[in-house]
Structure 1
């Protein structure tokens, strides 16, 4: 990794359950498929992503449970900073949160929700016909990670300045976890 290169990993929460109509959206937990997918992604991150310097996440129950499952397979403590602004945030709000990341952090993990995460990834990565960008544009399923690298500082990250280096869906690691993921 060259000096000044930062890596942003975006993780959409895993598949949640809708079986209790009395629950607020914020309070919905993961279903069994979501737990499996999150644990699988955690194992993938352990092998592929290295160590996260800073983790920021929505405090919604499905995000907290996603992180618990990811952490169990990741093998390291993630110690997220929970930020309520991430819950149902727009891409612009998410970018504001990234701008606040500690300058010394090199690898940031942001865990949240769609459509904000997908919109943020689309904003940061220039439009192209590269296979990863095409896959991102097609659909950003639950428990999917998008890894974006860029040169510069968190405080100056801007639209079109990133390069999509990884886009991994749970079904890429285990076909039984797709294609009905959403």
Structure 2
């Protein structure tokens, strides 16, 4: 059986309010535009999440809010407090506790870039993969019947894009 992971870094956020806590930063105009464009791209390729696991940060939740209208209203969303600024090991643990397929995970750098690189047997041929800019999206396949079986280095790249590519 093949499992699909859609790994999305949150869209571009605003630094307009210096008093705002990091977790409370909203998307800026560029991020508000990029998130639905990525969702349209995913939908056009048939990558439709059944389960969405997100950091509780405002910018990740707003990214999903802007993406959700472009998918069927069937995805279960779970706010995962441990994903806020999580390292790759925490992200893997969260993924291994998922139940549906495909899973979309929304997170932050530097953890998400490290997680994406660690999951794959070979990285995509894209100059921006290593730095994983805002709203970068990886679609990876895993030969497993359960997310608990997924291990580092076992993923195969199906697609990778950034907003500037669209």
Tell me the TM-score range normalised by the shorter chain: over 0.9
CA distance in 2, matches of 1:50, 1:159: 22
The aligned counterpart of 2:157 is 164
Give unpaired runs (5+ residues) of structure 2: none
**Distance of aligned partners of 1:75 and 1:52 in 2 relative to their CA distance in 1, 3 Å threshold:** closer
2:122/2:157 contact within 8 Å kept: no
Query: Per-residue deviation at 1:135?
Result: 4.2
**Distance of aligned partners of 1:41 and 1:27 in 2 relative to their CA distance in 1, 3 Å threshold:** same
Q: Runs of 4+ in structure 1 displaced over 6 angstroms? A: none
**Which has more radius of gyration?**
1
The aligned counterpart of 1:89 is 86
Q: CA RMSD in A?
A: 1.4
Query: Per-residue deviation at 1:53?
Result: 1.9
SS in 2 for 1:10: strand
2:77 corresponds to which of 77, 80, 88:
80
SS in 1 for 2:11: coil
1:57 corresponds to which of 41, 45, 54:
54
Query: How does 1:30-69 map onto structure 2 within 5 Å?
Result: 30-69=27-66
Select the structure that is richer in helix: 1
Give unpaired runs (5+ residues) of structure 1: 174-182
TM-score (norm 2): 0.93
CA distance in 2, matches of 1:50, 1:162: 16
How many residue pairs get aligned? The number is 164
